[in-house]
Structure 1
Amino acid sequence: MIKASEIMAATNAVRDDFEFAGVTTDSRAVKPGELFVALKGGNFDGHDYCAKAVALGASGVVISHDIEQLPAGAAVFRVQDTLLAYQQLARAYRRRQKGLKVFAITGSNGKTSTKDLLAACLSVKYNVVKTQGNFNNEIGLPKTLLDIKPDTDIAVVEMGMRGLGQIEELCRIAEPDSGLITNVGETHMELLGSMDNIAKAKSEIVVDLPAEGFAVLNGDNEYVLRAAALTKAKVVYFGLGAGCDYRGSDIATSAGGTTFTCTEKATGKSVQVHLQLIGEHNVYNALSAIAGAACYGVSMEDSARALATARLTGSRQEIIYIGDITFINDAYNASPASMEAALKTLAEAKKAARGTGRTIAVLADMLELGAISEDAHRRVGRWAVEYGVDYVLTYGEQAAYISDEVQKLGGKTRHCGSRQEAADNLRLLAEAGDIILLKGSNSMQVGRMLELFK
């Protein structure tokens, strides 16, 4: 329950004291007794739905300007900025949870997968709340914090960003006790301009961590390593390098996933880990989860058991079978690093299958790369040839550079004018036993190829 007095303290609103069953910003999902916060965006205004929210059971609303008449008895909290009020309320609610630990995660690639894996490992020992889907921004983070229950021990929250200062702002809301940086890559190059700026933006997650907290860092990434000098927290490294506190080795891929050995530097102990996921990048994600969970007393053995059955948020290396064809749906988002990892995974999947089927990569634009976009897409084309992809289908303005590079290097490829055209070509091209990768930036909707193909 959330008291009206807490809302007033967090937002400077004025109202007599009583309790709400929860907080929501979605008028379509209001539950009886909840408080509805009327957020305003470029294409919507939650103030237009306050009456609907109350009709569905909301006991009160938070607004910033006059609205239509509400049913009698509904509480009205008037503030200057409803988004700021929502964030202030989430921070106040987080502070109310005595003993709660907040573990924040960011990175150019793999943060959502790492969030899922870390939450799985911590759940062996604790009651855990985690970011749902990829609600990792200034609206999604407060939602996660407000989902915390009185018996929650650890909240694992994902933090995304598109510019300098944004993770710092999210940290002011969540006040994390520990932070994890998966890697630093070229994602958001268009907005940040350089790898140095991307590294600086990601490092904001560890700057204000308490001395008793933990900064879990990728020990193999030169840009992540810089963050160690910016934090008072205890630094723990994960990776494949010999100096890492939690080091992976003996990586093997099979049709059932990936197996590797994790060694703890401090004790010399090792454990074998099996993932129902393919690819070296998922080894990194798993290592970071093991390292993060170990900071809170979860043994490597317990983490390994949790990882053996862990599942990722949809459209992240989701394996789907349609007839005798295997799809690797990794279409949620794309950057140069994740593209290379996906193509490498495709090659590993073919090797593990030991069949006669071919590999086909359906690739669309990687967005927000700015001046490096053409070069980055051409690199993807070179990687596709290097990793032995049998056929590359592309669509999107920038993805044309992928096909052009594949063609220059003698590979088989076709660039299509639309997703529908790519689907039509895929239906003609695909045969039993093929393994097909779907990959591109989220707005390119490569995952919809599955519907079109069916």
Structure 2
Amino acid sequence: MIELSLTEIAAAVGGELVGPDAVVTGAVTVDSRTVGAGDLYVALPGERVDGHDYVGAAVAAGAVGALSTRAHDGGPVVVVDDPVVALGRLAHAVHERLTGLTTVGITGSSGKTSTKDLLGQVLDAVAPTVSPPGSFNNDIGLPLTVLSADAGTRYLVLEMGSRGPGHIARLCAVARPDVGVVLNVGSAHLGEFGSAEVIATAKGELVEALAPEGTAVLNADDARVAGMAPRTRGRVLLTGTGPTAQVRATDVVLDAAARATFTLHAGGETHEVSLQVVGAHQVANALSAAGAALAAGLTPGQVAAGLSAAATRSRWRMEVTARADGVTVVNDAYNANPESMRAALAALTTMTGTRRVAVLGAMGELGPGADDEHARLGEHAAGVVDLLVAVGPDARQIVAGAASATATGAVAARPHREESVHVPDRAAARQLLAGVLRPGDVVLVKASRSYGFELLAADLIADGGGAGDEVGAQ
């Protein structure tokens, strides 16, 4: 963060400084365990612990002060009514002071983090860029990302999530983007929004926030996203595979590891791109990243080179590991919705292997249609994998859908197909798979974040003797 005194911070957030003034020369953190010299500690209430209990420890560790709802004997405090609101106000004040900065906001039902990671690496190859790994896309994570920028930062890439109307507008008020990227409108959080139309309205808050000199990068292959064009005052840049896209991919080919190569058409130029990330769905993410980078001032050649060099930076997103015994584990356990499930299964089916095994858990936040969505997932999986293992009580309908599709002949027979299996929990899945996996199998592990399937993926890797010839996080 740029250096600010506690007095300046108090003025920016509408708080009151209690104690001596000091200058914040380090970072802003919400975790007392990571505090270093010169930091500002923000005391947040939590489900298990209250950050206010650790103000003294943070100051002892080197923090020059804290944002808190009350004064503390341990050191100077800027007292505020709501530390989360104050954090956003501080980020806004810092963002307003940063000159020569191009800010990019990214939203969508799926692919936000992958696209952010691609774009961050493309931009960072040209100039100093802030784009942290992980999904810092809410009222806490986004301000912390903004506050990690300083006077030397030239590009700031912000991921924007939404749990309802008004959320993205609020994030844009913290740091208004110069470039707004909308990836897709899908089923993620459908139970909270109620309909795809409401999701589209909420996602479109990003392009509404752009100034006239800004650029909206919209996915032309998604009708609801393309339909957001009239909602922005900025210029519109369309990406996709169709003829209306100004940033377009042709000649898409997947290799044996499900990594795509394609020809990038942009700005009257063509360049070859060879992605290091896994899955055909990454082409759309790469095109959105390309559009944002072009809007930020990069050349098509710089964009193509950056995309070809970029790898996945955030955990549990199509991480591919070859076990010592010859089994390949694909850990895509960070999250799941109907669209991302199908994308991951599509990637699995293009990977070289003797058998394709899908270990799937439930998809959360789908609302009243959850059972039908899980049944449809099972029907789809039955037609593309050799062994389907559904894990947990919320995943029963996956196997029911697969059984229905098989019984009715709705899916074509596969030479290695085995009967779909439901198990009660991750431990049972691990035990089952230990007895059936064999060299040459490729195993996809995926579920919504709350089910913790990254632990199952780690167990499966360990059960095979650990990593062999490391494929790595793709």
Task: Please state which band the TM-score falls in when normalised by the shorter chain.
Answer: over 0.9
Query: Which of 359, 380, 400 in structure 2 is aligned with 1:383?
Result: 380
Deviation at 1:85, TM superposition (A): 1.1
Residue of 27, 31, 37 corresponding to 1:26: 31
**2:329 paired residue among 327, 330, 337:** 327
**2:469 counterpart residue number:** none
Instruction: Determine the structure 1 residue equivalent to 2:411.
Output: none
Percent of aligned positions that are identical = 39
Letter in 1 for 2:368: A
Deviation at 1:336, TM superposition (A): 0.2
1:396 corresponding residue in structure 2: 392
Residue of 347, 361, 365 corresponding to 2:358: 361
5 Å-filtered alignment, 1:239-318, equals 239-256=240-257, 257-264=259-266, 266-267=267-268, 269-312=269-312, 313-318=314-319
Q: Give the alignment of 1:162-201 within 5 angstroms.
A: 162-201=163-202
1:111 is aligned to: 112
The aligned residue for residue 86 of structure 1 is 87
Amino acid at match of 1:50: V
Contact 2:71 2:77 in 1 (8 A): no
Partners of 2:21 and 2:76 within 8 A in 1 = no
1:24-63 aligned at under 5 Å gives the runs 24-63=29-68
Q: Does 1:449 align with 2:456?
A: yes
Q: CA shift at 1:398, angstroms?
A: 2.9
Deviation at 1:255, TM superposition (A): 2.5
SS state at 1:161 partner: coil
Deviation at 1:99, TM superposition (A): 1.9
| Structure 1 residues 291-343: Cα deviation after superposition (integer angstroms, max 9, x where no partner) | 11111221222222212221211111111111211111111000000001111
Structure 2: where are the runs of 5+ without partners? 407-416, 463-474
Shift of 1:36: 1.2
C-alpha contact (below 8 Å) 1:373/1:398 kept by paired residues: no
| Cα deviation digits, residues 349-375 of structure 1 (max 9, x gap) | 1xxx2x5x1000000000000111111
Q: 1:415 aligns with which of 411, 414, 422?
A: 422
In structure 1, the partner of 2:148 is 147
Task: State the TM-score, normalizing by the size of structure 2.
Answer: 0.90
Tell me which residue corresponds to 2:229.
228
Aligned equivalents of 2:304 and 2:96: distance in 1?
Answer: 32
CA separation of 1:9 and 1:66: change in aligned 2, threshold 3 A: closer
Q: Residues of 1 paired with 2:361 and 2:107: CA distance?
A: 24
Report the Cα distance in structure 1 between the residues aligned to 2:457 and 2:294, rounded to whole angstroms.
Answer: 39
CA contact (8 A) 1:39 1:46 kept: yes
1:114-164 Cα shifts (integer Å, max 9, x gaps): 001111111232211014311111000111011002100110010111111
1:7 counterpart SS class: helix
AA paired with 1:325? Answer: V
Q: Which secondary structure does the structure 1 equivalent of 2:242 belong to?
A: coil
Show structure 1 runs of 5+ residues with no match: none
Kindly indicate whether the alpha-carbon contact (under 8 Å) linking 1:6 and 1:89 is maintained by their aligned counterparts in 2: no
Residue number among 436, 445, 448 corresponding to 2:443 in the alignment: 436
Query: So what's the TM-score if we normalise by structure 1?
Result: 0.94
Q: Does the 8 Å CA contact 1:34/1:60 hold for their aligned counterparts?
A: yes
Q: Give the CA deviation at 1:419.
A: 0.7
CA distance in 1, matches of 2:30, 2:379: 45
| Distance in 1 between residues matched to 2:188 and 2:308, nearest whole Å | 30
Is 1:426 the counterpart of 2:406? The answer is no
- Aligned-partner SS, 1:260: strand
Q: Give CA deviations for 1:57-96 in whole Å, capped at 9, x if unaligned.
A: 11112211254x21xxx32211111111111111101111
In 2, distance between residues paired with 1:25 and 1:258?
A: 39
The question of 1:340 aligning with 2:342 is answered: yes
Q: Tell me by how many angstroms 1:17 deviates.
A: 4.9
| Secondary structure of the structure 2 residue equivalent to 1:409 | helix
Q: For 1:379, what is the secondary structure of its paired residue?
A: helix
Task: Report the Cα offset of residue 13 of structure 1.
Answer: 2.5
The yes-or-no answer on 1:6 pairing with 2:3 is: no
Asked whether the 8 Å contact 1:30–1:58 carries over to 2, the reply is yes
The whole-number CA distance in structure 2 between the counterparts of 1:131 and 1:223 is 29
- Distance in 2, Cα, partners of 1:287 & 1:157: 17
What letter is aligned with 1:111?
A: K
Does the aligned pair in 2 maintain the 1:278–1:348 contact within 8 Å? no
Q: Report the Cα offset of residue 19 of structure 1.
A: 1.2
Q: How far apart are the structure 2 equivalents of 1:310 and 1:171? A: 27
* Residue 213 (structure 1) shift: 1.0
- SS of the residue aligned with 2:244? coil
> Which residue number corresponds to residue 215 of structure 2?
214
RMSD of aligned Cα (Å) = 1.4
Q: Distance in 2 between matches of 1:431 and 1:358?
A: 9
In structure 1, C-alpha distance between the alignment counterparts of 2:458 and 2:208, rounded to whole Å: 44
Stretch moving more, 190-199 or 219-228: 219-228
- C-alpha separation in 2, matches of 1:52 and 1:179: 40
Amino acid of the structure 1 residue aligned with 2:431: D
